[in-house]
Amino acid sequence: MKTVMGTAINVLRKTTGFKPEKRATQHGPSMIKLENVTKAFDGQVVLDKLNLDITTGKITSIIGPSGEGKSVLLKHMIGLLRPNSGVVVVDGEVISAMRGSVLNQAREKFGMLFQNAALFDSMTVFENVAFPLEEKTRLTKEEIRDRVREALAHVGLKGVDKKYPDMLSGGMKKRVGLARALLLNPKIILFDEPTTGLDPIICRAIHQLIKDTHRRFGYTAVIVSHEIPEIFDISDHVAMLYKGQILEKRTPKEIQRSNHPVVRQFISGSLEGPIRLVT
Amino acid sequence: MQPAFSGVNSFPIPTLYNPSILSYNKKPLICINVVEVVLLALVDKLGSLTLGLLREMGSMLNFLVYAIYKIITRPGKPIHIYKQIHFIGAKSFFVIFLTASFTGMVLGLQGYYTLAKFGSEGMLGAAVALSLVRELGPVLAALMVTGRAGSAITAEIGIMNITEQIDALRTMALEPIKYLVAPKIIGALIAVPLLCAIFDVVGIYGGYLVGVKLLGVNPGAYFHEMEKSVAWKDVYSGFIKSISFGIIISWVCCYKGYHASRGAEGVSRATTSAVVMSSVMILIWDYFLTSVLL
């Protein structure tokens, strides 16, 4: 494993001039680091030499207009997408150069809550949450049952074990998704628009849940969201993605006082400004 | 990926599109160029189609090899395989039973009147059994499984793909091929030959029903001739066929679902394509296997 990583890093060093920080990053400020990441689909550039640091143990939110590649950015962090150029370093390891079982090993640090929760629709809620435990641990049935009930209780769900995902509301699906993501105590949890399509009360409840579970488990969180200004209440850092680049990454207070015209227009929701609906 | 040669855009005779040359009023040259441009466009299209086909074939083969590698190195939990045997096999029983009985009955009817012309109605059992065991059993059972289970496999995996359930598996550090594809291939490998066996038996009794009970062929002759004519080679060649058909169905249908995109329409297109491609591949492969096994 170490040899493979060493070779990968050496190749990257020679080809891109990139110098990943030593293993000390594991305890350093950056849990995820994106360096000059470029990604294009069918010639259309979505991420353009993007640089971003995600601080260990903090909640970082990524905001930006729809279709700007926020979900694409998130998928690069967990290795679901590979950049055309640049590197993605997670916990001191270059995830963008990994494949196969090495990549799977790196992914064990992650949990991910998808936009539509991505629950397995042929399984009950219990089976959905129990699935990673059944496949990746040697726990007994009783232990799995207890762990699943505990995880569901953490997200405020009881008595839904036997229901199928299509019998749940949007908010409940997200909670089940969060329970599943939390189950293996990951170091990092990625949230892809966790509150999109939910009413304001459920939206606030989900945000509160993220904050509570973050406090309890201490994971590093990356949230892609459109919920402004609500997202500022739970975030430690907010990064604005526009035209394939991170314009600013600051604390919520700082970003609300930003002088950058794009950031100001996006936060105020104004129709006037550099962001055009039709380009 | 763009094809290596992209026709009119990369060929350096764009006279037709150049107004400055048109203004010289060189009519014959323009006519020649129209023909050239059309021909080039045709060659370009043909080239890109061939390249696309080759790419697809390579990707499909890669998919199968990887799935087989996963089956050999890390076979999934038996429960996932049982579920697939139940889904592909047990749940296809009724449709196989129905198809087999009517196929056998038609064979009995047709066979009887054809053989009656030569006065050898007694050979009916042999004719029905040989047709079923060697050819119709494996092929028709496989086609029915494609229609019933293959389409469902493509739709299931396709919907999992477009609703990010496959990505969810990846984020849990679980290998989708191992959890979704490998059990289906093993399940089909076991279920399709069993369904083929059921098809053969039910078909033979369908032929018996029409030949013996309806048209009055001697029941002893029906089974005696069958026993005399059907050799072990006929039976195992049928099974070899159905095993390979099981692989074709699960491979093509899983592949198409795994690569479905663009919403509900994409899944419907993938399902249609999976059923058509599996059926065509079954028939083509059947011809090759028959010529090898004869």
Q: What is the 3-state secondary structure (H, E, C) of chain A?
A: CHHHHHHHHHHHHHHHCCCCCCHHHHCCCEEEEEEEEEEEECCEEEEEEEEEEEECCCEEEEECCCCCCHHHHHHHHCCCCCCCEEEEEECCEEHHHCCHHHHHHHHCCEEEECCCCCCCCCCCHHHHHHHHHHHHCCCCHHHHHHHHHHHHHHCCCCCCCCCCHHHCCHHHHHHHHHHHHHCCCCCEEEEECCCCCCCHHHHHHHHHHHHHHHHHHCCEEEEECCCCCHHHHHCCEEEEEECCEEEEEECHHHHHCCCCHHHHHHHHCCCCCCCCCCC
Calculate the alpha carbon distances from A212 to A140, A144, A234, B30 in Å: 29, 23, 10, 74
pLDDT at B245: 95
On whether any CB of chain A is under 8 Å from the CB of B234, the answer is no
Backbone angles phi, psi at A278, to 5 degrees: -115, 120
| Average pLDDT estimate for B234-246 | 93
pLDDT at B226: 87
Task: Name the 3-class secondary structure at B252.
Answer: helix
Residue B171: which of A110, A115, A120 has the nearest Cβ? A110
**Among B254, B240, B244, B252, residue whose Cα is nearest residue B84:** B254
Of A157-161, B104-108, B173-177, which range is least confident?
A157-161
Query: Residues A147, A154: contact at Cβ < 8 Å?
Result: no
Q: Residue B76 gets which letter from DSSP?
A: -
Task: Name the 3-class secondary structure at B259.
Answer: coil
On whether any CB of chain A is under 8 Å from the CB of B25, the answer is no
Task: For residue A89, count other CB atoms closer than 10 A to its CB.
Answer: 24
Identify all chain A residues contacting B179, using CB atoms and an 8 Å cutoff.
Answer: 135
What six digits make up the tokens of A101?
Answer: 């079982």
CB pairs under 8 A between A and B: 52
| Average pLDDT estimate for B169-180 | 88
Distance of alpha carbon B7 from alpha carbon B36, whole angstroms: 10
Strand-by-strand arrangement of the A237-242 sheet:
A110-113, A188-192, A220-224, A59-63, A237-242, A245-250
pLDDT at position A279 over 70: no
Q: Any idea which residue has 């839904």 for tokens?
A: A160
pLDDT at B247: 95
The count of domains in chain A is 1
| Average pLDDT estimate for A90-105 | 85
CA dihedral (A50, A55, A57, A62) positive or negative: negative
User: Would residue A274 count as lying in a domain?
Assistant: no
Mutate to test the interface with B, among A112, A183, A224 (most CBs of B within 10 A): A112
**Among A217, A1, A209, residue whose Cα is nearest residue A105:** A1
| Average pLDDT estimate for B96-121 | 91
| Average pLDDT estimate for B167-180 | 88
> What residue type is B204 in one-letter code?
I
Decide if A120 and B164 are in contact by the 8 Å CB cutoff.
no
Decide if A80 and B167 are in contact by the 8 Å CB cutoff.
yes
Instruction: Tell me the pLDDT band of A277, cut-offs 50, 70 and 90.
Output: low
Of A245-254, B196-205, B239-248, which range is least confident?
A245-254
Residue A232 structural domain = 21-109+186-268
Strand-by-strand arrangement of the A85-90 sheet:
A44-55, A30-41, A85-90, A93-94
Q: What is the average pLDDT value for chain B, to the nearest integer?
A: 87
Identify all chain A residues contacting B170, using CB atoms and an 8 Å cutoff.
Answer: 78, 80, 107
User: Would residue A200 count as lying in a domain?
Assistant: yes
Instruction: Tell me the pLDDT band of B31, cut-offs 50, 70 and 90.
Output: low
Rg (CA), chain B: 26
Element (H, E) at B116: helix B93-117
Distance of alpha carbon B50 from alpha carbon B60, whole angstroms: 15
Residues 6+ apart with CB under 8 A from A99: none
pLDDT at position B108 over 90: yes
User: Would residue A214 count as lying in a domain?
Assistant: yes
Task: For residue A117, count other CB atoms closer than 10 A to its CB.
Answer: 26
pLDDT at B197: 95
The percentage of residues in chain A with a pLDDT greater than 70, rounded to a whole number, is: 89
> ipTM of this predicted complex?
0.79
Instruction: Tell me the pLDDT band of A21, cut-offs 50, 70 and 90.
Output: very low
User: Which CATH number belongs to the domain containing residue A80 in this structure?
Assistant: 3.40.50.300
The per-residue pLDDT for range A236-257, each reduced to its tens digit, is 899 988 888 888 888 888 888 8
User: Would residue A65 count as lying in a domain?
Assistant: yes
User: Would residue A101 count as lying in a domain?
Assistant: yes
pLDDT at position A2 over 50: no
Q: Where are the domains of chain B?
A: 7-54, 74-293
pLDDT at position B30 over 80: no
Closest residue in B to A76 (Cα–Cα)? B171
The answer, yes or no, to whether the previous bond of A229 is cis (omega within 30 of 0) is: yes
Q: Any idea which residue has 């293959």 for tokens?
A: B150
What six digits make up the tokens of A164?
Answer: 């199928």
